[in-house]
Amino acid sequence: MAEGFLPLNKKEMLERGWAQPDFVYISGDAYVDHSSFAMAIISRVLEANGYKVCLLCQPDWHNPESITEYGEPRLGFLVSAGNMDSMVNHYTVAKKRRSSDAYSPGGKIGMRPDYATIVYCNLIRRTYKTAPIIIGGIEASLRRMGHYDYWSDKVRRSILLDSGADLISYGMGERSIVEIADALDGGLDVKDITYIDGTVYKTRNEDIIFDAIRLPDFEDIQKDKETYAKSFLIQYRNTDPFNGKRLYECYGGKTFVVQNPPQKPLSTREMDAVYALPYMRDYHPSYKKQGGIPAWGEIKFSLTSNRGCFGECNFCALTFHQGRIVQARSHESIIAEAKTCIKDPDFKGYIHDVGGPTAEFRKPACKKQMTYGACMDKKCLYPKPCPNLEVDHSDYVSLLKELRELPGVKKVFVRSGIRFDYLLADPDDTFLRELCMHHISGQLRVAPEHISDNVLSKMGKPQVSVYNRFISAFDKMNKQLGMDQYAVPYLMSSHPGSTIKDAIALAEYLHLHHLNPQQVQDYYPTPGTISTCMYYTGLDPETMKPVYVASNPHEKAMQRALIQYRNPANYDLVKEALTKAHRLDLIGNSPKCLIPSKKPHINKNRRNHK
């Protein structure tokens, strides 16, 4: 086992000749040893720095004994809910229980608790009263300060307090976790680790907090939504590793939660080192009898090219978690991983994706970002591309070409999202040509999200005219190439700002352009986004102006139904929406009508395509 998977139980630990681990990593996910899984990255980075890490995946939280598999670790416990927030993992936007979990053996649901980070930490504390606990992952990262929680519909405390943990390692934690480990290994008490960038700690002594911005007290953001919005904006504007300030929040007048500035981005060399660690590139063999891990199949032959995103959509938590500064791996690193994929017996010649949060971002938005950081009060692409934005697809085009020319590769797909506004800002159409010719198969998924400029402005997305220009350019390029390919829009319903009038405008647009979207995402308020702040407060935190919010489930159902107005099952909802909006001109048999006057017969034996 010494050259294979990290220990998943005490037997495997003893086979390595270890009497005690340095760290026990507890996760809500099953163990997949691959660089797309945060647990694998953090564990392998610690291993590379000389630390012994044992994994405890999906322990039975009903049984206190489940936490004692390895005994008390020498340095501490690491805890994560997994690659997803446990509440998003468990519940749909309608707060209904999901039927499967892609990160659990066989897709089985219920293998982790709700609010998993908190439950696991409380379980540890019942047995190990003083052992250091460091929490990380997306759940801890986005809940690091007082935050609105959609599922309980209330403002919750920092997860650091509710979990009883000692530290949060937020964002991409490769650097901070090693610094924490080295401090603990050097004999420092965990309560004295207050100086590491990319961490959050708690203290009762305000005097030790220096060069920091004091946020409104937790009790004040609980009571007043305007205060909440102001506090959120301060946090949002301090997510940059070069210009972000230290922030702190007071609880009950005596406890302070302190967020240190973010860690600096990794260099290409450092990223290459992380992705070159000895991952087994598979799930642990113990899961085979249970059907494997569904999420692994999705990314097995995909390649991570970058992290970070300067697209900065308001509904996306990337600014809070990965940051706006793009970091990229070298061609050599990605090619080496691709060659490993090719050697896999299951590889059929298809690389499923090459990308990241945004596929074609391969460097920071401008040169100044690596010295002065991203602008606090300006966005790189919204409302229009910044004059200082360096638009260049040549490196990505070159990378894709190298990959598709590898022996054994039949096709390289680009399935990560592309930013069509960034693509249009490039006067060179080589990337669009290469994309159409080599890297899609029949259809390209793009994300205009909506067509109402009113809604798009609340999303931080470009105006619909930009999307229309992209579609024209895409269709023109395919025509030149003699290819029959089309763009499939990804759409979102009920985002803050969207009224029934906006939803009807979207339906009319779809009708005019003969589009019939099969999948629609209802807006989901998750921690750490501007959109969630809008949803909760009814205010745009950047302007403090009121924002319309469709929070009533029936209205949300109508907005969603309008996008899929062609589905006979949605007829009643669509008719109700059109009637309420006084748009009876769209009900009837004329070409411009969305639905007929008479409800169509629904064949109940017809397969329901979602």
What domains are defined for the chain? 10-202 (3.40.50.280), 445-451+479-610 (3.30.750)
What whole-number distance in Å separates Cα of residue 39 and Cα of residue 1?
A: 18
pLDDT over 90 at 21, yes or no: yes
Look up tokens 């220009």; give the residue: 469
SS (H, E, C) 468-491: HHHHHHHHHHHHHHCCCCEEEEEE
pLDDT for position 518: 82
Residue pair 199/166 in contact by the 8 Å Cβ criterion: no
pLDDT over 90 at 607, yes or no: no
| Range list of H helices, 128-278 | 137-142, 159-163, 174-185, 218-223, 225-236, 268-275
N-terminal to C-terminal alpha carbon distance within the chain: 44
Q: Which of 522, 537, 374, 547 is nearest to 457 (CA)?
A: 547
Secondary structure (3-state) at 50: coil
DSSP assignment letter at 5? S
Residue pair 284/341 in contact by the 8 Å Cβ criterion: no
| Range list of H helices, 391-429 | 394-404, 420-424
Query: To which H or E segment does residue 464 belong?
Result: helix 464-481
In the beta sheet, which residues pair with residue 355? 304
Q: Give 443's pLDDT tier (boundaries 50, 70, 90).
A: very high
Q: Where are the beta strands (DSSP E) in 242-396?
A: 246-251, 255-259, 282-283, 302-304, 306-307, 327-328, 350-351, 353-355
Going by C-beta distance under 8 Å and a sequence separation of 6 or more, which residues neighbour residue 164? 121, 122, 125, 133
Kindly report, residue by residue over 210-235, the tens digit of the pLDDT: 999 999 999 999 999 999 999 999 99
What whole-number distance in Å separates Cα of residue 12 and Cα of residue 1?
A: 7
Residue pair 87/147 in contact by the 8 Å Cβ criterion: no
Query: To which H or E segment does residue 43 belong?
Result: helix 38-48
What whole-number distance in Å separates Cα of residue 30 and Cα of residue 125?
A: 22
Tokens describing residue 22: 């340095």
What whole-number distance in Å separates Cα of residue 5 and Cα of residue 416?
A: 29
Q: Which of 532, 443, 456 is nearest to 491 (CA)?
A: 456
Query: To which H or E segment does residue 33 belong?
Result: strand 32-33
pLDDT over 90 at 603, yes or no: no
pLDDT for position 519: 82
Residue length of the chain: 610
What whole-number distance in Å separates Cα of residue 525 and Cα of residue 154?
A: 12
pLDDT for position 1: 35
pLDDT for position 610: 38
Look up tokens 């260099």; give the residue: 267
Angle between helices 553-563 and 571-580 (to 10 degrees): 110
On the question of a cis peptide bond just before residue 448, with omega within 30 degrees of 0, the verdict is no
What whole-number distance in Å separates Cα of residue 148 and Cα of residue 154?
A: 6
pLDDT for position 605: 59
Kindly report, residue by residue over 389-417, the tens digit of the pLDDT: 999 999 999 999 999 999 999 999 999 99
pLDDT over 90 at 448, yes or no: yes
pLDDT for position 604: 61
CA dihedral 559, 560, 563, 569 (to 10 degrees): -110
Mean pLDDT of the chain: 96
Kindly report, residue by residue over 172-212, the tens digit of the pLDDT: 999 999 999 999 999 999 999 999 999 999 999 999 999 99
Kindly report, residue by residue over 499-546, the tens digit of the pLDDT: 999 999 999 999 999 999 988 999 999 999 999 999 999 999 999 999
pLDDT over 60 at 606, yes or no: no
Please count the CA atoms within 13 angstroms of the CA of 548 that sit on its side-chain side.
Answer: 13
pTM, to two decimals? 0.96
